């Protein structure tokens, strides 16, 4: 049976060195904080100078996408029936938009609310099984 190795004087010094914690120098921390703050301020000033030198026309937003109705409708903003798959099941062709989240949903995933009668997807509606027949409620009508 082997016995545990005893610590030598050299090993004891090594253990004590490993147990020591690094002492932080407050002056050094403050100097590093000032240096970091200075770097942040310089970067901010450079950015402001670049903005001041930029032509004024670049600061205004571009509405070119919205001015062209063909481009806007090709993005699918007008209707959900563009040949996109259903958001919920990914199988059927989307034919409606959910009134809550506005994702395109197919006829199988549509759930009309029993109260407001808008069309919702399964994620934005809940089915109530408490009565003799099931009722679908949107998140707004269920809370009310």
pTM greater than 0.75: no
What is the spatial distance between Cα 101 and Cα 65, in angstroms, rounded to a whole number?
23
Would you say residue 121 lies in a domain? yes
Q: For the chain, how many structural domains are there in total?
A: 1
Looking at residue 109, what is its pLDDT? 87
Would you say residue 74 lies in a domain? no
Task: List, for residues 2-23, the tens digit of each pLDDT value.
Answer: 677 665 555 666 666 666 666 7
Domain that holds residue 93: 80-143
Q: Looking at per-residue confidence, does 8 or 100 come out higher?
A: 100
Would you say residue 46 lies in a domain? no
Is residue 71 over pLDDT 60?
no
Q: What CATH number does residue 113 fall under?
A: 3.30.40
């Amino acid at each position: 049976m082997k016995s545990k190795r005893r610590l030598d004087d050299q090993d004891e010094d090594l253990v004590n060195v490993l147990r020591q914690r690094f002492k932080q120098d407050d002056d050094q921390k403050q100097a590093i904080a000032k240096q970091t703050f200075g770097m942040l301020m310089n970067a901010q000033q450079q950015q402001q100078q670049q903005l001041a030198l930029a032509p004024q026309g670049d600061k205004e937003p571009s509405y070119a996408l919205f001015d062209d109705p063909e481009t806007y409708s090709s993005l699918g903003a007008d209707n959900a029936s563009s040949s996109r798959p259903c958001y919920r099941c990914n199988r059927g062709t989307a034919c409606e938009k959910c009134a809550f989240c506005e994702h395109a949903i197919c006829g199988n995933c549509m759930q009309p609310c029993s109260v407001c009668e808008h069309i919702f997807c399964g994620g934005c509606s809940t089915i109530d099984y408490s009565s003799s027949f099931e009722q679908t409620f949107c998140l707004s009508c269920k809370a009310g």
